[in-house]
Amino acid sequence: MLQASEVVCPDKWEAFANISLPGNKIAERINELAENLYSQLQDKEMDLAAFSTAIDESTDVNDASQLAVFIDG
């Protein structure tokens, strides 16, 4: 997140660096994102004859979690 903020809004990097989130708060946010994506997919699936999804969670070389979601319809 800090690396992204450094590129997107370097003037706010220090504010992002001072944010401390416990692991359970991060997990809670991830669940909220998943629920939101699921809801959006349900809304859009009405228009699709068929669709497939691929979800991958992995870590990069720094052991930072990465999430990729692909939806094809």
What are 32-44's pLDDT values in tens digits? Answer: 888 888 888 777 7
The pLDDT of residue 60: 67
Length of the chain: 73
Q: Is the pTM of this model over 0.85?
A: no
Domain that residue 63 falls in: 22-72
- Which one is predicted more confidently, 11 or 46? 11
Q: Is 63 left (phi over 0), alpha (psi -120 to 50) or beta?
A: left
Question: Does 9 map to a domain?
Answer: no
Number of domains into which the chain is organized: 1
The pLDDT of residue 9: 78
Question: Does 3 map to a domain?
Answer: no
Question: Does 15 map to a domain?
Answer: no
Question: Does 34 map to a domain?
Answer: yes
The pLDDT of residue 29: 82
- Which one is predicted more confidently, 40 or 62? 40
Question: Does 49 map to a domain?
Answer: yes
Identity of the amino acid at 51: F
Question: Does 42 map to a domain?
Answer: yes
Q: What DSSP string describes 4-68?
A: HHHHH-GGGHHHHHT----HHHHHHHHHHHHHHHHHHHHHHHTT-S--EEEEEEEE-TT--EEEE
- Which one is predicted more confidently, 7 or 51? 7
